[in-house]
Chain A
């Protein structure tokens, strides 16, 4: 694969995220018009359809709970904050003009609710030690690979293997330090942009990236161990 293709395949999700937060009802990306993925549900909600409300809730609840839990240590209070957020959505829906995506608006409500409950705990992020993500013993004195990664990326396209690997990732995620887990899940599972994560968690862009880097690196390592890839 050419380097160019490499770049494109890697950047695509990030590019889409950038589009998602751009802040208009329709976004242009490479000539394509994109619509807020929640738009139809919002219209149904405005018409008073209960089912639309529950579908919206189902779509975003996991993300909201994750963020709420990052603010407060009590799961019960986190759930209250999220419920309160949904009430805010119902009350505000007619005034929501679609100048941002629904998700961005939703995140803003959540963070405001969490603040006004007065239960926000210390938001300082412990970045942790500056240890390298790959053990130094895998490199020689010049910094070149001594124990290089084995080749296994194509194996992952095998459907069954991919499923078992997804389980492995799930386990590895659960073992990550909480801040890393939050950032990796919001970015890579929920598909938030880095800006959305920073706003929602109240952390700097640099912190967000460090947490993402360490978290993703650990997940890769878990896959490597699963695939017996340490040469």
Chain B
């Protein structure tokens, strides 16, 4: 593959960011990725921005139970308890 022969360019790095964060880059490619970062402040910033994005997304809360769902599931629970007893 091409990355075995030459250094990565920025345009390739941005496409590999997720594989890098997921720890799915083959070792040689990971080395090239990190070598590029060490020399490229823009891609270092880009990677940092992806991490910030993930962190901010993680602050979102999953949707809350609607009152109707809560009611339905309470009823479900009580019916089940009655059958159990």
Contacts and interface: CB of A to CB of B under 8 A. Distances in A.
A90 interface: yes
Category for how many chain A residues contact B: 35 or more
A160 interface: no
A153 B73 contact: no
Interface size class of B (residues with CB under 8 A): 35 or more
B14 A133 contact: yes
Question: SS class of chain B's interface: helix, strand, loop or mixed?
Answer: helix
A90 B77 contact: yes
Contacts of A54: 70, 73-74, 77
Chain A interface helix/strand/loop/mixed: helix
Contacts of A48: 81
Contacts of A142: 9
Nearest to A224: B49
A27 interface: no
B21 A14 contact: yes
Interface in A120-156: 132-134, 136, 139, 142-145, 148-153, 156
Q: Which of B19, B37, B43, B45 has the most CB of A within 10 A?
A: B45
7 contacts: A54-B77, A83-B72, A133-B15, A136-B11, A151-B45, A153-B52, A189-B60
